[in-house]
């Protein structure tokens, strides 16, 4: 397999993320991955699935405690990918179904885009300076 292409993470901070938010972020990563894969963007799909892996690892390591610890870069990269995917849905016609038959998928896709934007905002809020637990500013 080829080496994944990744931006180098210059911000090494870890931030606390509560379990419910972690669950939503894993869901969003999966949703973004599905849209990216089905609409021909395998690079974004691969990237966001790596983020899902990191978020899942944070959940597993939390092991029942009320919050996990997540690299800021994971949150920022997920927010970028979720917003880009919402843009593709709204502007470029990305869809979970491209059969061409109208059967309500426009509503599903619009709803999914709105949820991805909301969770991108959540990810950005979690990594904003001043959030509890931030340390070692670069």
Minimal distance in Å, beta carbon 83 to Zn ion? 25
With respect to Zn ion, which residue has the nearer C-beta, 97 or 114? Answer: 97
DSSP-assigned letters across all residues of 47-86: HHHHHHHHHHHHHHHHTTSSEEEEEHHHHHHHHHHHHHHH
Of 8, 60, 99, 132, the one binding Zn ion (CB under 5 A) is 99
With respect to Zn ion, which residue has the nearer C-beta, 10 or 99? Answer: 99
Minimal distance in Å, beta carbon 93 to Zn ion? 12
Inter-axis angle of helices 42-62 and 19-38, to 10 degrees?
160
| CA angle in degrees (0–180, nearest 5) for 35-41-45 | 65
Q: Is 97 in the site for Zn ion (CB under 5 A)?
A: yes
Q: Is 93 in the site for Zn ion (CB under 5 A)?
A: no
d(CA 16, CA 120): 16
Minimal distance in Å, beta carbon 107 to Zn ion? 12
Binding site for Zn ion (CB under 5 A): 97, 99
């Amino acid at each position: 397999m080829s080496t994944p292409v990744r931006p180098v993470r210059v911000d090494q901070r870890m931030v606390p993320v509560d379990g419910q938010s972690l669950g939503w972020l894993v869901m969003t990563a999966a949703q973004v991955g599905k849209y990216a894969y089905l609409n021909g963007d395998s690079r974004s799909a691969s990237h966001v699935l790596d983020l899902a892996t990191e978020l899942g690892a944070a959940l597993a390591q939390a092991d029942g405690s009320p919050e996990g610890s997540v690299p800021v870069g994971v949150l920022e990269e997920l927010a970028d990918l979720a917003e880009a995917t919402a843009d593709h849905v709204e502007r470029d016609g990305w869809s979970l179904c491209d059969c061409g038959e109208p059967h309500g998928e426009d509503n599903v896709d619009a709803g999914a885009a709105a949820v991805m934007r909301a969770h991108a905002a959540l990810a950005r809020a979690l990594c904003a300076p001043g959030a509890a637990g931030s340390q070692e500013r670069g």
